[in-house]
Structure 1
Amino acid sequence: MNRRTTALYLSILLASVLLLPVKTSAAPMSAEELKVLQESLSIVELDREITRIEEEQRQTEQTIRELERQLSNKDEEIKDSREQAGRRLAAYYMGERESLLSALLSANSLKDFLSMLDYYQLIAERDHYILNKYKTEYAAIEKTKRKLDRLSGELGSMKESLVKQRTRVAALQQSVDGSLDTSADPEKLKAMIEELTVYWQNVGLYEIRRYFKELSAAMAEFPDFLQEHRESLASDNGGYVLTVQEKDLNDFLHSRSDLLKNMAFVFEDERIIAEGRREGLELKVEGTYTVEQEPQNSITFHVSRIIFNGLELPDTTRTELENDFDLGFYPKKIVPFVEATEASIQKGTLIVKLKLDL
């Protein structure tokens, strides 16, 4: 059974327990049932985040062990270079190289002078090679040490994050267990949890990532927007103002993807809301744009809320999707000699202020 067929089948199967566009159950879910499903979905996603962190931690620990091995080997390898470099430097400080230079200058004939010059150049080149070799090997060791320190710090952060997420899961699980204990129909509630989990793991997460992937691909083509809407860019006080109308953005995104035709993008005060529904799945994404300078000047989209079939996803899922899919755009790809200084969202309009960056 392919994924599309599975999605349709599970949508029909879960229509009685999930918040779908068409209600098939006469009795709506209670606030307690919604709360339990919300917490259960958060547990599933936090468990997935824990698995991701554990794998990242395992890989980091493996990298640290390899770097420590490399560092130990390099320390052994550099001993000979260090000793040779030390002898060369000592020769200069002790005046041995000056005596060679004096011998060169006191040569009795041109033939002797040229012979001594060749000898002197060979020694100088060998000294230069040995000192440079040591310098290169020493720089490599220092670079490995810095990388090791950085990874050790990241590993510490991972361990802290792991403890944090496990604590959150334990608290949520305790709340769910308490709701099941006090429920008038715990078996029904358990079934709803199981069905939601199956739907999310087999369909929901895949479909949400699919929407984000399509959005990211469409926003990568945003420079074409200006070609289609030249009136959107206007000069202003030595710079420019890019004005994006809600309808124009909807038309642009819908023209880039059939999947996005199911979504509507609304500009409210200081936030953008994207809502869509398809085959039993309802998705609502809220976020805002900010100007960022690193790693390059950009208008970056930050996800503040994701609501899946009426259930809000946890911050870990928002962060993952924001990191995996770039929904922003880059002013220099629109006009090469400008950079963004400010982004604001008003009802129906996104306004980006640009300055010359020559």
Structure 2
Amino acid sequence: MRLNKQYKHLFITLSLLFIITIPVKTSAAPLTDEELKILNDSLSIIEIDREVSRIENRQKETQQSVSQLSEQLGYKNEQIKTSRDAAGKRLAAYYMGERETLLGALLSANSLHDFFTILDYYQIIAERDHYVLDTYQNEYASLKQTKDKLEKMTSDLETIKDNLLKQRERVAALQQSVDGSLSSSVDPEKLQAMIEEMTLYWENVGLYEVRRYFRALAAAMSDFPDFMQEHESSLTSDKNGYTIVVQESDLNDFLHSKNELLTNMSFQFDEGIITAQGSREGINLKVEGHYTVENEPQNCIVFHVDRLLFNGLDLPDTTRKELETDFDLGFYPKKIVPFVEATEATIHKGTLIIKLKIAL
């Protein structure tokens, strides 16, 4: 019998819960500092390894693009050589007097019929001249654009290679640390079993669930204009523009109403930081972050993940950045009031305050 994706995932989850005893999740005895560090390093190895694979794929794609652009550049060089030669002949004709001779013939026509005949001929030549010169100009612009794009992609490729090297070095250092801890441990078999169990659980359940939470949060935050309609008093005007005051309790109620998955998460505003924390079916998730106002590519209030804990284990920066990229947890003031832009977003105990200015 074939299982669809949803039931297959449920089957894997239930199977793992029955056959795996995850120390981070189910052990009655608390983890020692050594065990926690080893599990944390092991989880970082898994995630940074995944980032290495992503970078390697991007490197291959960029290398292919660079090769294609190099071929295009060679082809455009041939095109522009032909256009340049033709344009040169046209310009030489002007400077050597051929066009003046034709213009003289036009002015010395003996009859109106001859005048219009020569005029038509002159206009055909002039249009052809413009076409040749415009073609050269357009192909030159295209050549320059291709060169600039190639230079940028070549630079990006070098950056990708440097990043790949750094991530591989991080993995190697973490692996060395884990190997050293295992070799010096009084019970290396137990630690190795914990690592394997945690790895299996994370790869089959944990990563899926973390992304599932972020997907639900992103979908809810995309409906932030609905929140403002429900809490019109949150928006007030002053001499400098407008101010939005979001109360912690109001945002919690709004997010809980948007998705059942979020009902077990609580959001807390403290000085300069937002914390979202919740538990469900043995999974504990904690997200800490802050907001900044960004103007490119458009004015928006962007959420940055500063810390992400899964069952007490810190996920590395590579995972945080990936989630930031894949799931937009920010919001866009112009969707609330079309003629305003955000200038400031500050978090205080229990409140998020957003300053807006009029931008016509």
Gapped regions of structure 2 (runs ≥ 5)? 1-6
Match of 2:4 in 1: none
Aligned-partner Cα distance in 1 for 2:14–2:253: 28
Are 1:214 and 2:216 an aligned pair? Answer: yes
Q: Is the 8 A contact 1:345 1:351 kept in 2?
A: yes
Aligned-partner Cα distance in 1 for 2:41–2:248: 34
User: TM-score normalized by structure 2?
Assistant: 0.96
Match of 1:122 in 2: 124
Deviation at 1:191, TM superposition (A): 0.6
Deviation at 1:11, TM superposition (A): 3.6
The one-letter code of the counterpart of 2:303 is: F
Bigger Cα displacement from structure 2, 156-165 vs 1-10? 1-10
User: TM-score normalized by structure 1?
Assistant: 0.96
Match of 1:39 in 2: 41
Match of 2:313 in 1: 311
Deviation at 1:13, TM superposition (A): 4.1
Aligned-partner Cα distance in 2 for 1:213–1:232: 26
The one-letter code of the counterpart of 2:172 is: A
Are 1:178 and 2:184 an aligned pair? Answer: no
- Go from structure 1 to structure 2 and tell me whether the alpha carbon gap of 1:5 and 1:262 turns closer, same or farther (over 3 Å shift): farther
Match of 1:257 in 2: 259
What aligned pairs does 1:223-302 form with structure 2 within 5 A after superposition? 223-302=225-304
SS in 2 for 1:29: coil
Are 1:9 and 2:15 an aligned pair? Answer: yes
Residues 55-107 of structure 1: CA distance to partner in whole angstroms, max 9, x if unpaired? 10001001111111111112122322111111011112222212211111111
Aligned-partner Cα distance in 2 for 1:4–1:236: 52
Deviation at 1:15, TM superposition (A): 4.3
What aligned pairs does 1:327-338 form with structure 2 within 5 A after superposition? 327-338=329-340
Are 1:324 and 2:326 an aligned pair? Answer: yes
Q: Is the 8 A contact 1:11 1:279 kept in 2?
A: no
Aligned-partner Cα distance in 2 for 1:327–1:200: 23
Aligned match for 1:68, one of 67, 70, 73: 70
The one-letter code of the counterpart of 1:3 is: H
- Go from structure 1 to structure 2 and tell me whether the alpha carbon gap of 1:272 and 1:15 turns closer, same or farther (over 3 Å shift): farther
What aligned pairs does 1:134-145 form with structure 2 within 5 A after superposition? 134-145=136-147
Aligned match for 2:162, one of 160, 163, 168: 160
Aligned-partner Cα distance in 1 for 2:240–2:30: 58
Residues 309-340 of structure 1: CA distance to partner in whole angstroms, max 9, x if unpaired? 00000000000100111000000000001111
Report how many aligned residue pairs link the two structures.
354
Aligned-partner Cα distance in 1 for 2:335–2:22: 48
Aligned-partner Cα distance in 1 for 2:22–2:51: 29
Aligned-partner Cα distance in 2 for 1:350–1:9: 42
Match of 2:3 in 1: none
Q: Is the 8 A contact 1:7 1:279 kept in 2?
A: no
SS in 1 for 2:357: strand
Aligned-partner Cα distance in 1 for 2:104–2:331: 67
Residues 39-62 of structure 1: CA distance to partner in whole angstroms, max 9, x if unpaired? 000000010010100010001001
The one-letter code of the counterpart of 1:6 is: I
Match of 1:91 in 2: 93
Q: Is the 8 A contact 1:11 1:280 kept in 2?
A: no
Bigger Cα displacement from structure 2, 50-59 vs 100-109? 100-109
Deviation at 1:16, TM superposition (A): 4.6
Aligned match for 1:106, one of 108, 113, 134: 108
SS in 2 for 1:327: coil
Aligned-partner Cα distance in 1 for 2:27–2:353: 43
Match of 1:133 in 2: 135
Aligned-partner Cα distance in 1 for 2:22–2:135: 72
Q: Is the 8 A contact 2:47 2:318 kept in 1?
A: yes
Match of 2:198 in 1: 196
Bigger Cα displacement from structure 2, 162-171 vs 92-101? 92-101
Aligned-partner Cα distance in 1 for 2:314–2:143: 48
SS in 2 for 1:336: coil
The one-letter code of the counterpart of 2:113 is: K
Gapped regions of structure 1 (runs ≥ 5)? none
Residues 109-143 of structure 1: CA distance to partner in whole angstroms, max 9, x if unpaired? 11111011000000000001111111111111111
The one-letter code of the counterpart of 1:229 is: H
Match of 2:356 in 1: 354
Q: Is the 8 A contact 1:8 1:279 kept in 2?
A: no
SS in 2 for 1:351: strand
Aligned-partner Cα distance in 1 for 2:322–2:178: 25
SS in 2 for 1:2: helix
The one-letter code of the counterpart of 1:63 is: S
